[in-house]
């Protein structure tokens, strides 16, 4: 396992206008479980390929345990990779497929056997070990690919590129949980690329959120939910995402366009640019009295909770409709004041006190 560091790393593809990966410095600790999360085109694969050595960055350095590996090809970086689609040898058995990376490295047969059986057990492949891979379905073939990625315990890092893409939806939750368990048992640096927030938040201790080639936040799942560093993170994480209301901020108060004032939990210096109030739907509640007047557009029943889609001063806002509350004709909105955040030009503004 390795500590992976990026120094002034950036990448522009030849002939492309601008950076696919904007300049950044970052450290991924030994044995950490990281997810690279963001929408299509945000630069996740570019960063992963720079880590694996498939792509040489146009600027900056990549260090594994302090050693500069920027110029090293993949085969000299000692990384395991799991791709979107299964990479298995059809004519081999599941056992032979799983043992392949160990055989290649000269791991003694008894140790390899024990390791293969352990990983197969964790992935739910134990009963299939002596079947030929060709006779298995796509889900199980992808489990073999995952197993081949996980079977060595001496790799610098394991890189997963959207590994659950071909997995049947009902099996995804099971494999997500198993991968997390595997990380606990095989404490290797693991990097997991996905555009699916559930996968990222289940798997990772630290999630690297990317937008338009930029790393906008690196944080625990809780931090991304509670303190989104950028409005993009607020929108992207959560279902529905964070609400944003245009406002002005004067010290400890937010002033909405109509002049209505809201108390803030912190005091803010004068802010420049586009100022917004951010509040998650979980902390905005429909009430009958008090709070802000709102107009109801519709109610969505999400099974375990109901979300009211409202308008506040012409701006859309999603809020929680308390259990058992009939939909009020003239709804009002109460905010959990300590959960109110202020954003200036998209970035979280630091308040005081
Ligand atoms: N070989 C290439 N040449 C030129 N531009 C590229 C190349 N590969 C990717 N890009 C561009 O770089 C940007 C980042 O792409 P990248 O594939 O890293 O994003 P991604 O987040 O992994 O997206 P996806 O989830 O769709 O794979 C995009 O604008 C993409 O069009």
Pocket of ligand 1 from Cβ distances under 6 Å: 13, 16, 20, 38, 40-46, 195
Kindly state the percentage of the chain with pLDDT values over 90: 90
pLDDT tens digits for range 26-53: 999 999 999 999 999 999 999 999 999 9
pLDDT tens digits for range 223-248: 999 999 999 999 999 999 999 999 99
Average the pLDDT over 156-183 and give the result: 90
Cα separation, 86 vs 96, whole angstroms: 15
Probe target for ligand 1 pocket from 15, 16, 19, 57, with the most ligand atoms within 8 Å of CB: 16
Based on the fold, state whether residues 73 and 99 are members of the same structural domain: yes
Q: How many domains does the chain have?
A: 2
Which residue, chain included where needed, has tokens 């601008």? 18
Supply the pLDDT for residue 181. Answer: 87
Based on the fold, state whether residues 223 and 330 are members of the same structural domain: no
Tell me the ipTM for this assembly.
0.98
Max alpha carbon distance in the chain (Å)?
Answer: 75
Average the pLDDT over 70-82 and give the result: 95
In angstroms, what is the span from residue 97 Cα to ligand 1's centroid?
31
CATH number at residue 282: 2.40.50.140
The Cβ of residue 81 has, within 10 Å, a number of other Cβ atoms equal to 22
pLDDT at residue 312 tops 80? yes
Average the pLDDT over 279-291 and give the result: 96
Range of the domain at 71: 4-9+20-236
Domain termination residue (choose one: 236, 257, 274): 236
Domain termination residue (choose one: 195, 217, 236): 236
Based on the fold, state whether residues 28 and 134 are members of the same structural domain: yes
Based on the fold, state whether residues 268 and 125 are members of the same structural domain: no
Cα separation, 228 vs 276, whole angstroms: 13
Average the pLDDT over 71-82 and give the result: 95
Supply the pLDDT for residue 125. Answer: 95
The helix or strand, by DSSP H or E, that contains position 79, with its residue range, turns out to be strand 79-82
């Amino acid at each position: 396992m390795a500590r992976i560091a990026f120094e002034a790393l950036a990448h522009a593809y030849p002939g492309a206008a601008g950076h696919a990966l904007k300049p950044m410095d970052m450290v991924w600790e030994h044995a950490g479980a990281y997810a690279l999360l963001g929408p299509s085109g945000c630069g996740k694969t570019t960063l992963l390929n720079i880590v694996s050595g498939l792509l040489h960055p146009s600027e900056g350095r990549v260090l594994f345990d302090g050693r500069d590996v920027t110029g090293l090809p993949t085969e000299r970086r000692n990384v395991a990779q799991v791709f979107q689609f299964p990479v298995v040898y059809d004519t081999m058995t599941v056992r032979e497929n799983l043992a392949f990376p160990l055989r290649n490295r000269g791991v003694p047969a008894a140790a390899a056997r024990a390791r293969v059986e352990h990983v197969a057990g964790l992935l739910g492949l134990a009963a299939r070990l002596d079947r030929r891979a060709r006779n298995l379905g796509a889900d199980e073939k992808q489990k073999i690919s995952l197993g081949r990625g996980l079977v060595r315990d001496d790799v610098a890092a394991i890189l997963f590129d959207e590994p659950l893409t071909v997995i049947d939806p009902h099996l995804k939750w099971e494999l997500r949980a198993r991968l997390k368990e595997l990380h606990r048992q095989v404490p290797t640096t693991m990097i997991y690329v996905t555009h699916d927030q559930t996968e990222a938040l289940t798997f990772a201790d630290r999630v690297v959120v990317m937008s338009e080639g930029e790393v906008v936040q690196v944080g625990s799942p809780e931090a991304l939910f509670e303190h989104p560093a950028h409005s993009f993170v607020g929108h992207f994480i959560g279902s529905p995402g964070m609400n944003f209301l245009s406002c002005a901020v004067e010290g400890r108060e937010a002033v909405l366009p109509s002049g209505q004032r809201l108390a803030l939990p912190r005091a803010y210096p004068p802010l420049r640019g586009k100022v917004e109030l951010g509040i998650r739907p979980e902390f905005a509640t429909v009430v009958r009295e008090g709070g802000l007047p709102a107009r109801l557009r519709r109610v969505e029943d999400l099974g375990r909770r109901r979300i009211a889609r409202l308008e506040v001063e012409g701006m859309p806002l999603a809020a929680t409709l308390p259990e058992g509350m009939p939909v009020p004709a003239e709804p009002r909105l109460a905010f959990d004041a300590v959960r109110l955040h202020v954003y200036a030009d998209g970035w979280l503004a630091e308040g005081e006190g």
